[in-house]
C-alpha cells in the first residue's frame, strides 16, 4: 500500500529530475562556432615622393601582416609604421572592397589611423559582411613648394 508521503516524495523527485535535466540542457547548449584564422599575409609599403628636380624622398614606411577568418567576414592586422621625411606623422587608412570602377578608385573605409611621430605599432580587427579584399593605405606629405599629400597602398584578396 502506497502512502501519501511516498507518492509526494516520488512526485517531488520526478519534478526535481525534470528541472535538473532542463537546466543541464541549458548549461551545455552548443554555442555558435567561431571561424578559424587562416594564413598570415605579410606586406611592406614604402611611400615616396619625387621632387620636380628628380630627387626622391622617402616619406614613410609600413611593415605589417593581415590574417583572414575562414568565415569570410573578419580580418585582423598588425602594422608598424615609421615616419621618415614626411612633415606629419604616418596616417593609415584601412578599407575593404577596393578597386577601380572605370577609371575611378573606390573603396569602403573602415578606419583612419593617425599615429604619433616616430615608429609605432598598431593592431586591430574589423568585421564587414562579404568583403572581397582589404586595402591598407599609407599617407605622407611634403612641400614642393605647395603642400602635397602622397599615398601608397597594398591590397590583399580575401581568400574566403
Q: Which pLDDT does position 33 carry in this prediction?
A: 59
What residues does each domain of the chain span?
A: 1-30, 37-157
Local structure of 12: helix, strand or coil: helix
| Alpha helix segments (H runs only) across 28-138 | none
Q: Which pLDDT does position 146 carry in this prediction?
A: 86
Q: Which pLDDT does position 23 carry in this prediction?
A: 53
Q: Which pLDDT does position 64 carry in this prediction?
A: 98
Fold of 37-157: Immunoglobulin-like (2.60.40)
Q: Which pLDDT does position 34 carry in this prediction?
A: 64
The half-sphere exposure of 59 on its side-chain side, counting CA atoms within 13 A, is: 24
Q: Which pLDDT does position 145 carry in this prediction?
A: 76
Q: Specify whether the CB–CB gap between 115 and 122 falls below 8 A.
A: yes
Local structure of 38: helix, strand or coil: strand
- This prediction has a pTM of 0.77
Q: Which pLDDT does position 143 carry in this prediction?
A: 87
Going from the first residue of the chain to its last (160 residues), give the mean pLDDT of each consecutive group of 10, the final group possibly shorter. 55 55 52 78 97 93 97 96 95 97 96 96 97 97 88 96
| Alpha helix segments (H runs only) across 28-152 | none
Bond into 71 cis (ω within 30):
no
Amino acid at each position: 500500500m502506497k502512502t501519501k508521503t511516498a507518492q509526494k516524495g516520488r512526485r517531488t523527485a520526478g519534478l526535481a529530475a525534470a528541472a535538473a535535466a532542463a537546466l543541464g540542457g541549458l548549461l551545455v547548449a552548443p554555442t555558435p562556432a567561431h571561424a578559424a584564422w587562416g594564413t598570415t599575409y605579410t606586406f611592406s609599403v614604402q611611400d615616396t615622393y619625387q621632387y620636380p628636380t628628380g630627387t626622391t624622398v622617402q616619406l614613410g614606411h609600413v611593415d605589417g601582416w593581415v590574417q583572414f577568418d575562414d568565415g569570410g567576414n573578419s580580418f585582423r592586422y598588425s602594422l608598424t609604421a615609421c615616419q621618415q621625411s614626411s612633415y606629419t606623422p604616418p596616417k593609415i587608412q584601412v578599407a575593404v572592397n577596393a578597386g577601380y570602377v572605370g577609371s575611378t578608385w573606390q573603396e569602403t573605409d573602415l578606419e583612419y589611423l593617425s599615429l604619433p611621430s616616430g615608429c609605432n605599432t598598431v593592431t586591430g580587427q574589423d568585421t564587414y559582411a562579404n568583403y572581397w579584399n582589404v586595402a591598407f593605405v599609407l599617407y605622407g606629405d611634403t612641400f614642393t613648394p605647395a603642400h602635397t599629400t602622397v599615398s601608397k597602398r597594398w591590397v590583399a584578396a580575401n581568400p574566403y
